[in-house]
Amino acid sequence: MANHRSALKRIKQNSKRRMRNKMVKTRVKTSVKNALSAVEKNGDVAGEMKKAQSVIDKAAKKRILHRRTAARKIARLSRRANTSASV
């Protein structure tokens, strides 16, 4: 366990940040899952895609996801939506 006051503060800060990052990543996963289920069930694909893209972009803006990872997730998601729409 840390002995210095600064190290104890750092532990508290890291745990807060970890929880915040975990919340955002969970939100990203849930929105992607909702968009994919809308694609499979022929639901509101456009609305769910817009929500998922917004959540992914916000996570990239906060640097929780790398910008290229976010772009890749959005591209794959939109590709899935477009292929199901054309079928």
What is residue 86's predicted lDDT score, i.e. its pLDDT?
A: 63
What is residue 43's predicted lDDT score, i.e. its pLDDT?
A: 84
Taking the CB of residue 8, how many other CB atoms lie within 10 A of it? 12
Rounded-to-integer distance, Cα 59 and Cα 70, Å: 8
What letter does residue 64 receive in the DSSP assignment? S
Write out residues in the chain with pLDDT < 50, as ranges: none
Full-model pTM: 0.86
